[in-house]
Amino acid sequence: MLSDEQWSDLEPLIEACRPHAKVPSPHLRRTVEAILWRHQNGSKWRALPAEFGPWWMAAQTFIRWARLGVWERLLTLIQERGVRLGMVFLDGTNIRAHQKAAGASRKGDLQKSETTVKRLADLVAATAPRPA
């Protein structure tokens, strides 16, 4: 998914932002690619192809990094260093729920990570180059 050149640009930035000791270094690229694949395709975590490793590792990493603000720090570093983002991920998923379910607390409170993805999408869209 990521070319070697893209990974060589991203890896030092990810290493600077991520909490250490949670994702073993040999699996970092595979885990990041799994997270990117999932957001690019809009699929469920369990639908990740086997070559990305265990789906739960990517899901846990995404949620943990969202709660710790890693994605925001990473995006800020990417923008500061002028790394060109090749694509923008926007999720237009609409989930219907019963009116009594609105505002209900969920196990793990994933709303924070959903908000993080929306903030990241807004930041990327605001800094994306506009066609002339």
Residues 82-122 have pLDDT tens digits of 776 655 555 555 555 566 655 555 555 555 565 666 565 55
Task: State the pLDDT at residue 49.
Answer: 95
Let me know if residue 47 belongs to a domain: yes
**Poorest-pLDDT segment among 27-41, 43-57, 98-112:** 98-112
- Give the sign of the dihedral formed by CA 97, CA 103, CA 108, CA 110: positive
- The residues, any chain, with a CB within 8 Å of residue 76's CB and separated by 6 or more, are none
Task: State the pLDDT at residue 50.
Answer: 95
Q: What is the mean pLDDT of residues 56-64?
A: 90
Task: State the pLDDT at residue 87.
Answer: 54
Say whether pLDDT at 56 is over 80. Answer: yes
- The residues, any chain, with a CB within 8 Å of residue 1's CB and separated by 6 or more, are 33, 36, 37
**Average per-residue pLDDT in the chain?**
75
Let me know if residue 97 belongs to a domain: no
- The residues, any chain, with a CB within 8 Å of residue 38's CB and separated by 6 or more, are 45, 47, 48, 58, 62
Tell me the residue range of the domain where 83 lies: 4-91+108-127
What's the structural domain count of the chain? 1
- pTM across the whole model: 0.67
Classify 128 as helix, strand or coil. coil
Let me know if residue 24 belongs to a domain: yes
Let me know if residue 8 belongs to a domain: yes
Percent of the chain with pLDDT over 90: 13
Let me know if residue 102 belongs to a domain: no
Instruction: Single out the residue of 117, 25, 31 nearest to residue 75, CA to CA.
Output: 117
Answer yes or no: are the C-beta atoms of 70 and 56 closer than 8 Å.
Answer: no
